[in-house]
Structure 1
Amino acid sequence: MPGTLKRLSTEPKLVDFFNILYSVVPADSEELKKETFRLRHQVYCIENEFEKPSETTHQMETDEFDNNSVHSIIKYNKSGQSIGSVRMILPNEHNHTHSFPIQKICNHSIFTNRKLFTAYKPIEISRFCLSKSQRTMANPCKHSCVQLASSSAPFSPALLNKYGPILGLIKGLIQMSSEHQVTHWFAIMEPSLIRLLAKLSIYFKPTGTLINYHGMRQPCYIEFSELLRRVHSEQPQIWEVLTNRGQLDVGSQGHHGYYAAQS
Protein backbone atom coordinates (compact mmCIF):
# COMPACT_ATOMS: atom_id res chain seq x y z
CA MET A 1 0.00 0.00 0.00
CA PRO A 2 1.54 3.36 -1.05
CA GLY A 3 2.75 5.44 1.86
CA THR A 4 2.75 2.49 4.26
CA LEU A 5 6.03 2.00 6.09
CA LYS A 6 7.39 -1.51 6.26
CA ARG A 7 7.43 -2.69 9.87
CA LEU A 8 10.94 -3.19 11.17
CA SER A 9 12.08 -5.39 14.02
CA THR A 10 12.50 -3.36 17.18
CA GLU A 11 14.18 -6.08 19.20
CA PRO A 12 17.31 -4.46 20.66
CA LYS A 13 20.73 -5.97 20.14
CA LEU A 14 23.81 -5.95 22.29
CA VAL A 15 25.43 -3.33 20.05
CA ASP A 16 22.47 -0.99 20.67
CA PHE A 17 22.87 -1.28 24.43
CA PHE A 18 26.63 -0.82 24.15
CA ASN A 19 26.30 2.33 22.07
CA ILE A 20 23.86 3.80 24.58
CA LEU A 21 26.36 3.33 27.38
CA TYR A 22 29.83 3.72 25.92
CA SER A 23 32.04 5.41 23.35
CA VAL A 24 35.48 4.22 22.28
CA VAL A 25 37.77 7.12 21.43
CA PRO A 26 41.23 7.02 19.81
CA ALA A 27 43.70 9.02 21.90
CA ASP A 28 45.04 10.80 18.84
CA SER A 29 45.75 14.21 20.35
CA GLU A 30 48.17 15.35 23.03
CA GLU A 31 45.34 16.16 25.42
CA LEU A 32 43.72 12.73 24.97
CA LYS A 33 47.09 11.05 25.46
CA LYS A 34 47.53 12.97 28.71
CA GLU A 35 44.06 11.82 29.73
CA THR A 36 45.18 8.24 29.08
CA PHE A 37 48.33 8.72 31.15
CA ARG A 38 46.35 10.24 34.03
CA LEU A 39 43.95 7.31 33.97
CA ARG A 40 46.88 4.90 34.03
CA HIS A 41 48.28 6.75 37.04
CA GLN A 42 44.94 6.30 38.80
CA VAL A 43 44.81 2.56 38.04
CA TYR A 44 48.46 1.52 38.33
CA CYS A 45 49.73 3.90 41.01
CA ILE A 46 46.72 4.63 43.22
CA GLU A 47 44.22 1.78 42.96
CA ASN A 48 46.61 -1.16 42.46
CA GLU A 49 50.08 0.15 43.43
CA PHE A 50 51.47 -1.50 40.31
CA GLU A 51 53.91 1.38 39.87
CA LYS A 52 55.31 3.84 42.43
CA PRO A 53 53.55 7.24 42.42
CA SER A 54 56.90 8.90 43.10
CA GLU A 55 58.16 7.66 39.72
CA THR A 56 55.38 9.36 37.75
CA THR A 57 55.27 12.96 36.54
CA HIS A 58 52.30 15.31 37.02
CA GLN A 59 50.14 12.33 38.04
CA MET A 60 50.67 10.72 34.64
CA GLU A 61 52.03 7.17 34.26
CA THR A 62 54.29 6.80 31.22
CA ASP A 63 57.24 4.72 30.04
CA GLU A 64 59.66 4.43 27.13
CA PHE A 65 57.21 2.43 25.00
CA ASP A 66 54.61 5.20 24.77
CA ASN A 67 56.50 6.96 21.99
CA ASN A 68 55.96 3.96 19.72
CA SER A 69 52.37 3.21 20.73
CA VAL A 70 48.80 4.12 19.89
CA HIS A 71 46.10 4.41 22.54
CA SER A 72 42.33 4.17 22.95
CA ILE A 73 39.98 5.33 25.71
CA ILE A 74 36.51 4.11 26.68
CA LYS A 75 34.07 6.66 28.10
CA TYR A 76 30.62 6.63 29.64
CA ASN A 77 28.34 8.53 27.27
CA LYS A 78 26.10 9.86 30.04
CA SER A 79 28.88 11.73 31.85
CA GLY A 80 31.73 11.79 29.35
CA GLN A 81 33.90 10.24 32.06
CA SER A 82 36.85 8.12 30.94
CA ILE A 83 36.78 4.73 32.65
CA GLY A 84 39.48 2.74 30.87
CA SER A 85 42.27 2.78 28.34
CA VAL A 86 44.54 0.46 26.40
CA ARG A 87 47.68 0.90 24.37
CA MET A 88 48.99 -1.01 21.40
CA ILE A 89 52.79 -1.05 21.16
CA LEU A 90 54.01 -1.15 17.57
CA PRO A 91 57.08 -3.13 16.47
CA ASN A 92 60.47 -1.45 16.41
CA GLU A 93 61.33 -1.12 12.73
CA HIS A 94 65.06 -0.82 13.45
CA ASN A 95 65.47 -3.66 15.96
CA HIS A 96 62.59 -6.12 16.21
CA THR A 97 64.05 -7.83 19.30
CA HIS A 98 63.64 -4.58 21.25
CA SER A 99 60.03 -3.93 20.32
CA PHE A 100 57.99 -4.95 23.35
CA PRO A 101 58.08 -5.22 27.15
CA ILE A 102 57.26 -8.93 26.88
CA GLN A 103 60.63 -9.51 25.20
CA LYS A 104 62.38 -8.31 28.37
CA ILE A 105 60.66 -10.75 30.70
CA CYS A 106 59.93 -13.79 28.51
CA ASN A 107 62.57 -15.53 26.40
CA HIS A 108 60.19 -17.64 24.30
CA SER A 109 61.29 -17.56 20.66
CA ILE A 110 57.80 -16.69 19.40
CA PHE A 111 58.17 -13.13 20.65
CA THR A 112 61.43 -12.48 18.77
CA ASN A 113 60.95 -14.63 15.65
CA ARG A 114 62.54 -12.74 12.74
CA LYS A 115 60.29 -14.34 10.13
CA LEU A 116 57.20 -13.19 11.99
CA PHE A 117 58.43 -9.60 12.23
CA THR A 118 59.53 -9.61 8.58
CA ALA A 119 56.44 -11.11 6.96
CA TYR A 120 53.75 -10.06 9.43
CA LYS A 121 53.02 -7.27 11.89
CA PRO A 122 52.73 -8.26 15.56
CA ILE A 123 52.00 -5.80 18.35
CA GLU A 124 51.85 -6.02 22.12
CA ILE A 125 48.71 -5.21 24.09
CA SER A 126 49.71 -3.22 27.13
CA ARG A 127 48.25 -1.04 29.90
CA PHE A 128 44.85 -2.72 29.51
CA CYS A 129 43.20 -0.93 32.41
CA LEU A 130 39.83 -0.05 33.90
CA SER A 131 39.45 2.33 36.82
CA LYS A 132 37.45 1.00 39.76
CA SER A 133 36.68 4.48 41.06
CA GLN A 134 35.37 5.70 37.70
CA ARG A 135 32.95 2.79 37.20
CA THR A 136 30.55 3.50 40.06
CA MET A 137 27.87 5.43 38.22
CA ALA A 138 24.49 3.82 37.52
CA ASN A 139 23.79 2.02 34.29
CA PRO A 140 21.58 4.33 32.19
CA CYS A 141 20.28 1.50 30.02
CA LYS A 142 16.75 0.59 31.18
CA HIS A 143 16.00 -2.35 28.89
CA SER A 144 15.55 -5.68 30.60
CA CYS A 145 17.87 -7.98 28.70
CA VAL A 146 19.59 -8.90 25.50
CA GLN A 147 19.97 -12.53 24.47
CA LEU A 148 23.47 -13.48 23.41
CA ALA A 149 23.83 -16.01 20.64
CA SER A 150 25.09 -19.41 21.85
CA SER A 151 24.09 -18.52 25.41
CA SER A 152 20.96 -19.51 27.30
CA ALA A 153 21.33 -16.72 29.86
CA PRO A 154 20.12 -13.16 29.18
CA PHE A 155 22.74 -10.46 28.82
CA SER A 156 21.31 -8.12 31.43
CA PRO A 157 22.14 -4.41 31.82
CA ALA A 158 24.15 -5.31 34.93
CA LEU A 159 26.25 -7.79 32.97
CA LEU A 160 26.71 -5.27 30.17
CA ASN A 161 27.94 -2.78 32.75
CA LYS A 162 30.46 -5.43 33.85
CA TYR A 163 31.65 -6.69 30.46
CA GLY A 164 30.93 -3.61 28.36
CA PRO A 165 34.12 -1.74 29.32
CA ILE A 166 36.23 -4.80 28.48
CA LEU A 167 34.48 -5.12 25.12
CA GLY A 168 35.18 -1.42 24.60
CA LEU A 169 38.91 -1.87 25.14
CA ILE A 170 38.96 -4.82 22.74
CA LYS A 171 37.00 -2.73 20.23
CA GLY A 172 39.65 -0.03 20.54
CA LEU A 173 42.37 -2.60 19.86
CA ILE A 174 40.50 -3.87 16.80
CA GLN A 175 40.11 -0.33 15.46
CA MET A 176 43.81 0.36 15.93
CA SER A 177 44.80 -3.02 14.49
CA SER A 178 42.73 -2.34 11.38
CA GLU A 179 44.34 1.07 10.92
CA HIS A 180 47.88 -0.30 11.35
CA GLN A 181 47.40 -3.58 9.44
CA VAL A 182 48.25 -5.69 12.47
CA THR A 183 48.29 -9.49 12.17
CA HIS A 184 49.11 -10.80 15.67
CA TRP A 185 48.59 -9.67 19.25
CA PHE A 186 51.10 -10.48 22.02
CA ALA A 187 50.26 -9.99 25.69
CA ILE A 188 51.19 -11.00 29.21
CA MET A 189 48.01 -11.39 31.26
CA GLU A 190 46.66 -12.64 34.51
CA PRO A 191 45.16 -16.11 33.92
CA SER A 192 41.81 -14.80 35.17
CA LEU A 193 41.71 -12.24 32.32
CA ILE A 194 42.50 -14.94 29.77
CA ARG A 195 39.57 -16.98 31.11
CA LEU A 196 37.26 -13.97 31.09
CA LEU A 197 38.10 -13.16 27.48
CA ALA A 198 37.48 -16.80 26.54
CA LYS A 199 33.89 -16.36 27.77
CA LEU A 200 33.59 -13.69 25.09
CA SER A 201 35.02 -16.11 22.46
CA ILE A 202 38.41 -14.37 22.47
CA TYR A 203 40.90 -17.20 22.90
CA PHE A 204 44.46 -16.16 23.71
CA LYS A 205 46.93 -19.05 23.44
CA PRO A 206 49.23 -19.47 26.47
CA THR A 207 52.90 -19.59 25.51
CA GLY A 208 55.47 -20.95 27.92
CA THR A 209 55.07 -20.96 31.69
CA LEU A 210 53.62 -18.47 34.14
CA ILE A 211 55.92 -15.57 35.03
CA ASN A 212 56.04 -13.71 38.33
CA TYR A 213 55.68 -10.15 37.05
CA HIS A 214 53.62 -8.02 39.44
CA GLY A 215 51.90 -11.29 40.30
CA MET A 216 51.67 -14.48 38.28
CA ARG A 217 51.02 -13.74 34.63
CA GLN A 218 50.84 -15.76 31.43
CA PRO A 219 52.58 -14.82 28.16
CA CYS A 220 50.15 -15.42 25.31
CA TYR A 221 49.21 -14.46 21.77
CA ILE A 222 46.32 -14.49 19.34
CA GLU A 223 46.10 -14.13 15.56
CA PHE A 224 43.95 -11.16 14.64
CA SER A 225 42.10 -12.91 11.82
CA GLU A 226 41.39 -15.93 14.04
CA LEU A 227 40.02 -13.67 16.78
CA LEU A 228 37.56 -12.08 14.36
CA ARG A 229 36.54 -15.42 12.86
CA ARG A 230 35.86 -17.12 16.19
CA VAL A 231 33.90 -14.22 17.67
CA HIS A 232 31.81 -13.89 14.49
CA SER A 233 31.08 -17.62 14.51
CA GLU A 234 30.36 -18.08 18.22
CA GLN A 235 29.16 -14.69 19.48
CA PRO A 236 27.83 -12.65 16.53
CA GLN A 237 26.33 -9.97 18.76
CA ILE A 238 29.71 -9.43 20.40
CA TRP A 239 31.27 -9.30 16.92
CA GLU A 240 28.82 -6.52 16.03
CA VAL A 241 29.99 -4.53 19.05
CA LEU A 242 33.69 -5.07 18.34
CA THR A 243 33.45 -4.21 14.63
CA ASN A 244 30.67 -1.61 14.81
CA ARG A 245 28.24 -3.92 12.99
CA GLY A 246 30.98 -4.96 10.58
CA GLN A 247 31.76 -1.40 9.49
CA LEU A 248 35.44 -1.66 10.38
CA ASP A 249 37.64 -2.73 7.50
CA VAL A 250 38.85 -5.94 9.11
CA GLY A 251 38.00 -8.51 6.46
CA SER A 252 41.51 -8.83 5.06
CA GLN A 253 43.44 -8.38 8.29
CA GLY A 254 45.61 -11.10 9.73
CA HIS A 255 47.40 -14.09 8.27
CA HIS A 256 45.76 -17.13 9.74
CA GLY A 257 47.89 -20.20 10.20
CA TYR A 258 51.41 -18.87 10.81
CA TYR A 259 51.77 -20.28 14.31
CA ALA A 260 49.82 -23.40 13.42
CA ALA A 261 52.44 -24.10 10.78
CA GLN A 262 55.22 -23.50 13.29
CA SER A 263 53.82 -25.68 16.07
Structure 2
Amino acid sequence: MQKSLAENFQRYFTVELAAEEALKREIFHTRFNVYCKEFEYESIEHFVEEQESDEFDIYSFHCLIRHKESRQVAGCVRLVPADLNKQDMILPFEKYCIDSLDIKFIEELKLNRATLCEISRLAVDGAFRRRSNEALDRFGNVQQLAFADEERRVFPLIAVSAFLASTSLTMLTGRTNVFAMMEPFLPRLLKRSGIVFHRAGCDVDYHGIRAPYFITTQSVLDNMKPELKELYDAINARICAEYRSCCTSDAV
Protein backbone atom coordinates (compact mmCIF):
# COMPACT_ATOMS: atom_id res chain seq x y z
CA MET A 1 0.00 0.00 0.00
CA GLN A 2 1.38 3.40 -1.00
CA LYS A 3 2.30 5.66 1.90
CA SER A 4 0.84 9.15 2.17
CA LEU A 5 2.84 12.36 1.95
CA ALA A 6 2.74 12.72 5.73
CA GLU A 7 3.83 9.12 6.33
CA ASN A 8 6.75 9.42 3.93
CA PHE A 9 7.93 12.66 5.49
CA GLN A 10 7.60 11.44 9.07
CA ARG A 11 9.54 8.31 8.23
CA TYR A 12 12.69 10.39 7.75
CA PHE A 13 12.15 13.73 9.48
CA THR A 14 10.74 15.34 12.60
CA VAL A 15 9.64 18.94 13.12
CA GLU A 16 10.52 20.54 16.45
CA LEU A 17 9.73 23.80 18.23
CA ALA A 18 13.10 25.23 19.25
CA ALA A 19 12.42 26.78 22.63
CA GLU A 20 15.69 25.76 24.28
CA GLU A 21 18.90 27.68 23.66
CA ALA A 22 20.73 24.54 22.53
CA LEU A 23 18.17 23.99 19.77
CA LYS A 24 18.34 27.63 18.73
CA ARG A 25 22.11 27.35 18.44
CA GLU A 26 21.66 24.41 16.08
CA ILE A 27 19.36 26.58 13.98
CA PHE A 28 21.75 29.54 13.98
CA HIS A 29 24.58 27.24 12.88
CA THR A 30 22.47 25.88 10.03
CA ARG A 31 21.67 29.42 8.98
CA PHE A 32 25.37 30.25 9.10
CA ASN A 33 26.14 27.33 6.79
CA VAL A 34 23.42 28.32 4.32
CA TYR A 35 23.38 32.13 4.43
CA CYS A 36 27.08 32.79 5.09
CA LYS A 37 29.17 29.86 3.88
CA GLU A 38 27.13 28.52 0.97
CA PHE A 39 25.40 31.54 -0.54
CA GLU A 40 27.54 34.31 1.00
CA TYR A 41 24.54 36.51 1.75
CA GLU A 42 26.21 37.57 4.99
CA SER A 43 29.91 37.92 5.76
CA ILE A 44 31.48 35.00 7.63
CA GLU A 45 33.61 37.48 9.59
CA HIS A 46 30.50 38.87 11.27
CA PHE A 47 29.78 35.53 12.96
CA VAL A 48 32.98 34.26 14.56
CA GLU A 49 31.10 31.55 16.49
CA GLU A 50 29.41 30.35 13.29
CA GLN A 51 26.00 31.40 14.62
CA GLU A 52 24.01 33.52 12.14
CA SER A 53 21.64 35.59 14.26
CA ASP A 54 20.15 39.09 14.37
CA GLU A 55 18.16 41.38 16.66
CA PHE A 56 14.84 39.80 15.65
CA ASP A 57 15.76 36.33 16.93
CA ILE A 58 15.37 37.31 20.58
CA TYR A 59 11.57 37.53 20.40
CA SER A 60 10.96 35.19 17.46
CA PHE A 61 9.56 31.66 17.52
CA HIS A 62 11.85 29.09 15.91
CA CYS A 63 11.26 25.65 14.38
CA LEU A 64 13.66 23.11 12.95
CA ILE A 65 13.34 20.05 10.75
CA ARG A 66 15.62 17.21 11.85
CA HIS A 67 16.77 14.20 9.82
CA LYS A 68 16.02 11.23 12.04
CA GLU A 69 18.90 8.93 11.14
CA SER A 70 21.74 11.46 11.18
CA ARG A 71 20.16 13.82 13.76
CA GLN A 72 21.29 16.67 11.51
CA VAL A 73 19.20 19.81 11.15
CA ALA A 74 17.85 19.71 7.61
CA GLY A 75 15.95 22.98 7.70
CA CYS A 76 14.68 25.80 9.88
CA VAL A 77 12.35 28.78 9.97
CA ARG A 78 11.30 31.53 12.34
CA LEU A 79 8.15 33.51 12.98
CA VAL A 80 8.75 37.15 13.92
CA PRO A 81 5.70 38.70 15.62
CA ALA A 82 5.05 42.43 15.50
CA ASP A 83 6.16 43.62 18.95
CA LEU A 84 3.28 45.51 20.55
CA ASN A 85 5.38 46.52 23.54
CA LYS A 86 7.65 48.53 21.25
CA GLN A 87 5.56 50.56 18.86
CA ASP A 88 8.63 51.59 16.88
CA MET A 89 9.76 47.97 16.42
CA ILE A 90 9.34 47.01 12.80
CA LEU A 91 9.42 43.60 11.12
CA PRO A 92 12.48 42.52 9.10
CA PHE A 93 10.84 43.13 5.72
CA GLU A 94 9.86 46.64 6.84
CA LYS A 95 13.44 47.37 7.88
CA TYR A 96 15.33 45.93 4.93
CA CYS A 97 12.89 45.93 2.00
CA ILE A 98 10.71 48.99 2.50
CA ASP A 99 11.40 50.32 -1.01
CA SER A 100 10.09 47.11 -2.61
CA LEU A 101 6.71 47.19 -0.84
CA ASP A 102 3.40 47.99 -2.50
CA ILE A 103 2.30 50.41 0.21
CA LYS A 104 -1.15 50.97 -1.31
CA PHE A 105 -1.85 47.21 -1.38
CA ILE A 106 -0.76 46.84 2.25
CA GLU A 107 -2.73 49.88 3.45
CA GLU A 108 -5.89 48.62 1.74
CA LEU A 109 -5.65 45.39 3.76
CA LYS A 110 -6.41 47.49 6.88
CA LEU A 111 -4.56 45.08 9.13
CA ASN A 112 -4.46 45.23 12.92
CA ARG A 113 -0.76 45.26 13.80
CA ALA A 114 -1.48 42.97 16.75
CA THR A 115 -2.21 40.22 14.22
CA LEU A 116 0.92 40.68 12.06
CA CYS A 117 3.98 38.50 11.74
CA GLU A 118 6.72 37.70 9.27
CA ILE A 119 7.94 34.24 8.34
CA SER A 120 11.63 34.53 7.64
CA ARG A 121 15.06 32.86 7.67
CA LEU A 122 13.63 29.74 6.07
CA ALA A 123 16.70 27.68 5.21
CA VAL A 124 17.36 24.15 3.98
CA ASP A 125 20.82 22.69 4.53
CA GLY A 126 22.67 22.07 1.28
CA ALA A 127 23.04 18.36 1.95
CA PHE A 128 19.26 18.07 1.68
CA ARG A 129 18.99 19.98 -1.58
CA ARG A 130 21.53 18.18 -3.75
CA ARG A 131 20.74 15.55 -6.32
CA SER A 132 22.00 12.00 -5.91
CA ASN A 133 24.72 12.48 -8.54
CA GLU A 134 26.26 15.47 -6.77
CA ALA A 135 29.02 13.97 -4.64
CA LEU A 136 30.71 17.32 -3.95
CA ASP A 137 29.32 20.47 -2.42
CA ARG A 138 29.98 23.88 -3.97
CA PHE A 139 33.28 24.09 -2.05
CA GLY A 140 34.56 20.79 -3.45
CA ASN A 141 34.05 18.89 -0.21
CA VAL A 142 32.87 15.29 -0.31
CA GLN A 143 29.37 14.88 1.10
CA GLN A 144 29.35 12.77 4.25
CA LEU A 145 25.67 11.85 4.27
CA ALA A 146 24.36 9.08 2.04
CA PHE A 147 20.64 9.03 1.32
CA ALA A 148 18.39 6.41 -0.20
CA ASP A 149 16.36 7.42 -3.23
CA GLU A 150 13.19 7.20 -1.12
CA GLU A 151 14.61 9.81 1.25
CA ARG A 152 15.60 12.15 -1.57
CA ARG A 153 12.07 12.14 -2.91
CA VAL A 154 10.96 13.69 0.37
CA PHE A 155 13.55 16.51 0.28
CA PRO A 156 11.21 19.03 -1.43
CA LEU A 157 8.92 18.70 1.59
CA ILE A 158 11.54 20.14 3.95
CA ALA A 159 10.87 23.74 2.91
CA VAL A 160 7.13 23.05 2.76
CA SER A 161 7.14 21.51 6.25
CA ALA A 162 9.01 24.54 7.59
CA PHE A 163 6.25 26.75 6.22
CA LEU A 164 3.58 24.46 7.73
CA ALA A 165 5.33 24.61 11.12
CA SER A 166 5.31 28.40 10.99
CA THR A 167 1.63 28.30 9.98
CA SER A 168 0.93 26.35 13.16
CA LEU A 169 2.72 29.06 15.13
CA THR A 170 0.62 31.79 13.54
CA MET A 171 -2.47 30.13 15.00
CA LEU A 172 -0.91 29.61 18.42
CA THR A 173 0.30 33.19 18.69
CA GLY A 174 -2.72 34.86 17.08
CA ARG A 175 -0.53 36.37 14.33
CA THR A 176 -2.64 35.25 11.41
CA ASN A 177 -1.82 38.02 8.92
CA VAL A 178 1.43 36.83 7.46
CA PHE A 179 4.17 38.48 5.41
CA ALA A 180 7.24 36.80 3.95
CA MET A 181 10.14 37.75 1.70
CA MET A 182 10.40 34.72 -0.55
CA GLU A 183 12.43 33.43 -3.43
CA PRO A 184 10.26 32.62 -6.48
CA PHE A 185 10.41 28.84 -6.00
CA LEU A 186 8.50 28.69 -2.70
CA PRO A 187 5.25 30.42 -3.77
CA ARG A 188 5.24 28.25 -6.90
CA LEU A 189 5.84 25.10 -4.84
CA LEU A 190 3.08 25.94 -2.36
CA LYS A 191 0.64 26.95 -5.10
CA ARG A 192 0.67 23.34 -6.34
CA SER A 193 -0.79 22.39 -2.97
CA GLY A 194 -3.51 25.04 -3.08
CA ILE A 195 -1.70 27.70 -1.03
CA VAL A 196 -1.72 30.98 -2.95
CA PHE A 197 0.25 34.00 -1.74
CA HIS A 198 -0.48 37.57 -2.82
CA ARG A 199 2.43 39.66 -4.02
CA ALA A 200 2.90 42.70 -1.80
CA GLY A 201 5.62 44.40 -3.82
CA CYS A 202 8.37 43.99 -6.39
CA ASP A 203 11.53 41.90 -6.60
CA VAL A 204 14.52 43.03 -4.57
CA ASP A 205 18.02 41.66 -4.09
CA TYR A 206 17.85 40.70 -0.41
CA HIS A 207 19.60 37.42 0.36
CA GLY A 208 19.07 36.62 -3.32
CA ILE A 209 16.20 37.83 -5.49
CA ARG A 210 13.05 37.87 -3.39
CA ALA A 211 9.68 39.57 -3.32
CA PRO A 212 7.29 40.42 -0.47
CA TYR A 213 4.22 38.22 -0.19
CA PHE A 214 1.12 38.23 2.01
CA ILE A 215 -1.29 35.50 3.07
CA THR A 216 -3.74 34.84 5.89
CA THR A 217 -3.59 31.71 7.99
CA GLN A 218 -7.25 31.05 7.27
CA SER A 219 -6.56 31.08 3.54
CA VAL A 220 -3.78 28.52 4.03
CA LEU A 221 -6.01 26.20 6.05
CA ASP A 222 -9.04 26.59 3.77
CA ASN A 223 -7.22 25.92 0.51
CA MET A 224 -4.46 23.39 1.11
CA LYS A 225 -5.04 20.07 -0.62
CA PRO A 226 -6.06 17.07 1.55
CA GLU A 227 -2.71 15.29 1.29
CA LEU A 228 -0.85 18.38 2.50
CA LYS A 229 -3.50 18.93 5.19
CA GLU A 230 -2.60 15.52 6.61
CA LEU A 231 1.04 16.61 6.84
CA TYR A 232 0.02 19.92 8.40
CA ASP A 233 -2.15 18.17 10.99
CA ALA A 234 0.76 15.94 12.02
CA ILE A 235 3.16 18.90 12.28
CA ASN A 236 0.57 21.05 14.04
CA ALA A 237 -0.11 18.37 16.66
CA ARG A 238 3.56 18.24 17.61
CA ILE A 239 4.12 22.01 17.56
CA CYS A 240 0.98 22.59 19.67
CA ALA A 241 2.08 20.02 22.25
CA GLU A 242 5.58 21.50 22.51
CA TYR A 243 4.22 25.06 22.62
CA ARG A 244 1.83 24.20 25.46
CA SER A 245 4.65 22.44 27.29
CA CYS A 246 6.82 25.56 27.01
CA CYS A 247 4.01 27.79 28.24
CA THR A 248 3.40 25.48 31.20
CA SER A 249 7.10 25.45 32.08
CA ASP A 250 7.28 29.25 31.91
CA ALA A 251 4.28 29.54 34.22
CA VAL A 252 5.78 27.33 36.92
Same fold (TM over 0.5): yes
1:229 aligns with 2:222: yes
**Largest Rg, 1 or 2:** 1
Question: Are the aligned partners of 1:21 and 1:139 in contact in 2 as well (CA < 8 Å)?
Answer: no
Letter in 2 for 1:33: K
Match of 2:213 among 217, 220, 230: 220
1:51 aligns with 2:54: no
Question: Are the aligned partners of 1:13 and 1:237 in contact in 2 as well (CA < 8 Å)?
Answer: yes
Question: Are the aligned partners of 2:165 and 2:235 in contact in 1 as well (CA < 8 Å)?
Answer: no
Letter in 2 for 1:12: K
Q: 1:200 to 1:214 in 2, by over 3 A?
A: same
Question: Are the aligned partners of 2:203 and 2:210 in contact in 1 as well (CA < 8 Å)?
Answer: yes
SS at match of 2:126: coil
Match of 1:123 among 117, 127, 133: 117
Per-residue deviation, residues 191-212 of structure 1 (Å, max 9, x unmatched): 2322122123221111122223
Match of 1:188 among 170, 181, 185: 181
Task: Give, in angstroms, the shift of residue 178 of structure 1.
Answer: 2.5
Question: Are the aligned partners of 2:169 and 2:239 in contact in 1 as well (CA < 8 Å)?
Answer: no
Letter in 1 for 2:83: N
1:35 aligns with 2:35: no
Alpha-carbon distance between aligned partners in 1 of 2:23 and 2:107, rounded to the nearest angstrom:
31
SS at match of 2:14: strand
Alpha-carbon distance between aligned partners in 1 of 2:228 and 2:161, rounded to the nearest angstrom:
11
Per-residue deviation, residues 157-183 of structure 1 (Å, max 9, x unmatched): 64323x221222123212322321221
Task: Give, in angstroms, the shift of residue 140 of structure 1.
Answer: 7.6
Letter in 1 for 2:57: D
Q: 1:112 to 1:101 in 2, by over 3 A?
A: farther
Q: 1:179 to 1:190 in 2, by over 3 A?
A: same
Judging by fraction of residues, say which structure has more helix.
Answer: 2
Question: Are the aligned partners of 1:87 and 1:128 in contact in 2 as well (CA < 8 Å)?
Answer: yes
Question: Are the aligned partners of 1:184 and 1:223 in contact in 2 as well (CA < 8 Å)?
Answer: yes
Q: RMSD of aligned C-alpha atoms? A: 2.6
Q: Name the count of aligned residue pairs.
A: 221
Alpha-carbon distance between aligned partners in 2 of 1:194 and 1:37, rounded to the nearest angstrom:
24
SS at match of 1:200: coil
In structure 2, what is the equivalent of residue 243 of structure 1?
233
* Structure 2 residues not aligned, in runs of 5+: 130-144, 241-252
Task: Give, in angstroms, the shift of residue 188 of structure 1.
Answer: 1.1
Match of 2:165 among 148, 172, 175: 172
SS at match of 1:187: strand
SS at match of 1:98: coil
Alpha-carbon distance between aligned partners in 1 of 2:194 and 2:64, rounded to the nearest angstrom:
22
Letter in 2 for 1:230: N
- Scaled by the length of structure 2, what TM-score is found? 0.78
SS at match of 2:117: strand
SS at match of 2:111: helix
Most deviating of 24-33 and 189-198: 189-198
Task: Give, in angstroms, the shift of residue 90 of structure 1.
Answer: 1.0
Task: Give, in angstroms, the shift of residue 103 of structure 1.
Answer: 0.7
Per-residue deviation, residues 198-241 of structure 1 (Å, max 9, x unmatched): 1232211111222232433211111110011110xxx2011110
1:65 aligns with 2:56: yes
Most deviating of 168-177 and 122-131: 168-177
Letter in 2 for 1:43: V
1:77 aligns with 2:72: no
Alpha-carbon distance between aligned partners in 2 of 1:249 and 1:172, rounded to the nearest angstrom:
7
